[in-house]
A and B are shown apart, each in its own frame.
Chain A
Amino acid sequence: MSISTFMGIQTSLRGLLAQQRALDVTNHNVANANTEGYTRQEALLGTTSPLAIPAGALNGNGSLLGTGVDVMSYQRVRDQFLDLQYRGQNMSLGEKSARSNSLQQVELALAEPGTNGVSAALERFWGAFGDLSNAPENPAARQAVIDKARALADNINQLQTGLSTAVAEAGAELTALTASGGDIHRMAADLAGTMKAIRDAELTGAQPNDLYDRRDLLLDKLSEMGQVSVTASPGGGTDVALGGVTIVDSDDTTGVPSVPAGAFPLTFTTSPGGRLGALADLASPAGPLVAYQQSLDRVAQMLAGTAATTGATTVNDIYARDNPGVPFFTYTAGPAGTPVLALNTAINTTTLSAGAGGPGANQTALDIAALRGGAVDKEYAQLVTTIGNAVADARRQETTAQVLTDNLKDRRESISGVSLDEEMTNLMRFQRAYQASARAMSTTDEMLDILINRTGRVGL
C-alpha cells in the first residue's frame, strides 16, 4: 500500500491541534487556580491509529507507520477515596466547631474569673451580711445588704438568660438550616440539579468535568452539616442521604435525580452528626447547656429554696428562722416562664432583720455570713469548672479536627490542586511541541515544494 504524499502534513496538523487542546486545558487550569472545588484537568494524549505499510522505502513486509497524536480524553485528576476521608473529617470539624463556638459564648457570659461574675457577687453578698453582723443597726450596712442581694440576683438571672439564649440560638440555627427552603434544602436542590445536568451530559457521551467538580463541592459542603452517604440507585443514578435522610433521590427506573417531596423540614431519627448533630445536642433538654442551666438553678435554690430540697441550709431558711413566713429571696416564674431570683420586695432598710431581739441583734446576719464558702459557692465553682473543662475540651477537639481536615485538604490539593509552576512548565512544553509540529509541517511543505516546483524542469 502506498502512502499519501501529504501524510506528513496531516500528522503535523494532528500534532498542532492536540498541543493546542493541551494548551487550552493548561489555560483552563491556570484560570481556575483559585476556584473553590476545582480539580485540575489533563489532556490525555495518545497516538492515533497507525497505518499498516510494507517495510522499506519502496517495498517490504508489513509494518505500522505512526499517524500522529490525538486527545484521548480530558481527565480530572482526583482521588475519590480522599474525598470520602475528607468528608468524614469535615463532618467531625463541623460538629466540634459548632459546639466550641456555642460553649465559648457561654463561657464569655460567665465572666469568670473576675469582678463581674456571680462568684464576685456572691462574695460581696456574704461580705455585706458579715458587715451587717458587726453593725446591724447601721443604715449603710443595711443598705449594702439590700444592694448586694439585688446585684447577686441580677447576676444569676443574667447568666441564666445567657444560657437560655445559647440554647434558643442553637435550636433556631438548627431549625433554619433544616427548614424547607433553608440552607440545606437549597444545597440539596442545587445538588439534584447538578446531578441531573451531569446525567444529561453523560447520556450524550460527554464528560462534564466542571459539573463533577460542582457536585463534589456541594457534597463537601453538605458533609460539614452531617453524615453524607452516596449510594447507587437501581435506575443507574445515585442517591444522597444526610444523616440517614435521603435528600436527593434518583428515580429507580429513569435514574433522574430530584429532591424527594416532603423531605424538608428534615427530621432525624438518630443524631445526624456534624454541625446539625452538635446543634441538636446543644438545644436538647439532655444537652450540656441545659445541664448548666440546671446547675445554676440549684445555685438559686440554695439561696432561695429550703434545706429539704437542696440538702443544704439556704439563706431563706436562716432568714425565716427569726422572721417566720418572710422569704429573703423570691424565686418565681418570670415573664419568660423560667424562674427569676429577686430580693423579697417587702424587705428594705427598715424591715431588714439581722436577728431576733433589739436593733443590735445579729444572729441571722451572722449565720447567713457564715454560709460563705458553703454549698452555694461550691455548686457555682463546680459549674464554672465544668464549663471551663467543656470549653477547653471543645477547643482542643476543634483544633485537632481542623488540623486533620487541613491535612486531608492538603493531600487532596496535592493531587487535584493547580500548581502554577507545573502549568507554566506545561505551557512551555505544549508551546514548544506546537512550534515543533509547525516546523515539521513547513519541512514537509518545503519537501513538497521541491517535488512540485523543482522537479521535471530540466531544460526550462
Chain B
Amino acid sequence: MGTRITNNMISRSVLADLNDIATRQAATRRQMSSGKAITRPSDDPYAAGRALALRNELGGIQQHSRNVQEAQGWMTITDTALGHIGDMAQRTRELVVQGATDTLPQTSRDAIASEIDQLIAGMKQEANATYDGRYVLAGSRTNVPPYDSKVLPVGSPPNDTYGGDAVKQQREIGPGVRIEVNTTGDRVLGGTPGNPGMLDVMRNIAAHLRSGDTASLGTQDLKDLTGRIESLLGVRAEVGAGINRLETAAARLAETEESATSLLSDTEDADMAKTLIDYSTQQAVYQSALNAGSRIVQASLLDFLR
C-alpha cells in the first residue's frame, strides 16, 4: 500500500506552503518599504557587521569634512589678518626709509611717528581677528582679544602685552591626521616677556623718529624691521601651506565619502529592481497557491456521493 494522504495532511501542507510563501513575501515587503536589504542583523550577520563599520567610517569621514571646513575658515581668517599686518609692515618700512632721511624736518618725523602709532594699533586690530566670535591668534584664550588696540598718548608706557597663550589648536582632518590651525599672535607681533617682536621694533622706530635718531633708523631699525617682515612671511607661508593641505584633504574626503557611501549602499540597500521582481513572483506564487488550495481542500468524495 502506498502512502495514504489524509484530508488533514492536505490541509496542513497547503497551509504550511501558504505560510511559507507569506513569510517570504513579508521579508520582501520589508525590504521594499525600508529600502534596505538588511533590516535585522540575522538577515545577513556578516553584512550587518560590515554595515555598522561602514556607517561609522562614513560618519568619521563626514566629521573630518566638517573639521576641514572649520579649519579652512579659521586659517583663511588668519591668512587675511597676517596679510594685512604684512601690508602695514611694508608701509612702516617705507616710512622708516623716509624718516631716516637727514634732510627731513623734525615735524615731518613726528607726523611719521604718529602714523607709526596708528599702524601699531592697526596691526593689533588685525591680530584681534575673529572667526565665529573667536580670536584666532590668541592660542586657547579665544574669548579675550590678544592685544589692546587703543592708541595711547605719546610718552605712555606701551600697551603691547600679548593676552593670549601658546596653546596649539589642532583639527583632525583624517584618521590620526591632525593639523595645527592656529598661529599665536606673539609669533608675529611679540608682546611676551623676552620675546621682542614686531611691536617692539615699531615702538623703537616711533621713539627714534621722535628723537630724530636717523642713524638708528637707517641701520638697526631697518634691519630689525626687515627681519620681522621676513619672519612674518615665514609664518604666512606656513599658514598658506596649511590651507593648501586642507584643500587637498577636502578633495580626498569628498572622494572617500563617495566611495564609502556607495559601498554602504551596496552592503545594506535593497536592489529595488530585483526586490520588485521577487515580490511580483511571490505574489503570483501566493495567488496560485491560494487558488490551488481552495480547489484541493474543497474536493472530496462527498461531493460526488448522493
Contact = CB atoms under 8 A, between A and B. Distances in A.
Interface stretch (B98-106, B172-180, B224-232, B239-247): B172-180
Interface in A348-395: 355-363, 366, 369-370, 372-373, 377, 380-382, 384-389, 391-392, 395
A370 B176 contact: yes
Contacts of B253: none
Contacts of A372: 56, 59-60, 63
Nearest to A427: B305
Contact of A112 (B9, B41, B44, B164): B41
Contacts of B143: 137, 358-360
A224 interface: no
Contacts of A138: 132
A418 interface: yes
A433 B171 CA distance: 100
A144 B184 CA distance: 28
A119 B58 CA distance: 13
Given A360-B169, A373-B175, A425 B52 contact: no
Interface string A107-121: 110101100000110
A68 to B, nearest CB: 28
A425 B301 contact: yes
A358 B140 contact: yes
B110 interface: no
Interface string B1-23: 00111111100110010000000
Given A137-B134, A366-B170, A419 B305 contact: no
A415 interface: yes
A373 B54 CA distance: 10
Interface in A403-423: 406, 409-410, 413-415, 417-422
B167 interface: yes
Place the interface of chain B in its size category. Answer: 35 or more
A369 B140 CA distance: 19
A424 interface: yes
B84 interface: no
B141 A107 contact: no
B41 A107 contact: yes
Given A112-B52, A130-B63, A130-B67, A421 B9 contact: no
A106 to B, nearest CB: 10
B302 interface: yes
Nearest to A402: B16
Given A113-B51, A359-B141, A414 B67 contact: no
Contacts of A113: 36, 38-39, 41, 48, 51-52, 55, 268
Place the interface of chain A in its size category. Answer: 35 or more
A107 B40 contact: yes
Nearest to A112: B41
A421 to B, nearest CB: 4
Nearest to A385: B49
Nearest to A391: B42
B139 interface: yes
Interface in B41-85: 41-46, 48-49, 51-53, 55-57, 59-60, 62-63, 66-67, 70-71
A355 B132 CA distance: 19
B51 A406 contact: no
B60 A360 contact: no
Interface string A87-131: 000000000000000001001101011000001101100110011
A381 B5 contact: no
B63 A414 contact: no
Contact of B169 (A104, A362, A415, A420): A362
B48 A358 contact: no
B66 A131 contact: yes
B40 A413 contact: no
B291 interface: no
A112 B49 CA distance: 10
B26 to A, nearest CB: 14
Contacts of A126: 59-60, 63
A387 B41 contact: yes
A34 interface: yes
A308 to B, nearest CB: 23
A316 interface: no
A113 B39 CA distance: 6
Interface in A195-216: none
B167 A360 contact: yes
Interface string A147-191: 000000000000000000000000000000000000000000000
B138 interface: yes
Given A359-B140, A384-B52, A369 B8 contact: no
B297 to A, nearest CB: 11
A452 B167 CA distance: 137
B300 A420 contact: yes
B99 to A, nearest CB: 39
B24 to A, nearest CB: 12
Contact of A119 (B52, B71, B300): B52
Contact of A33 (B8, B41, B46, B52): B8
A134 interface: yes
A20 B212 CA distance: 145
A335 B64 CA distance: 40
A135 interface: yes
A258 interface: no
B278 interface: no
Given A126-B59, A130-B172, A414-B4, 9 more contacts: A126-B63, A130-B66, A134-B70, A134-B71, A357-B167, A358-B165, A385-B46, A392-B42, A419-B4
14 contacts: A126-B59, A135-B134, A358-B165, A360-B143, A362-B140, A366-B178, A381-B53, A385-B45, A385-B49, A388-B42, A391-B40, A392-B43, A419-B5, A424-B302
Interface of B: 3-9, 12-13, 16, 36, 38-46, 48-49, 51-53, 55-57, 59-60, 62-63, 66-67, 70-71, 132, 134, 138-143, 164-165, 167, 169-172, 175-176, 178, 182, 268, 300-302, 305
6 closest Cβ pairs, A-B complex:
A388-B41, A388-B45, A360-B142, A358-B141, A358-B140, A357-B140
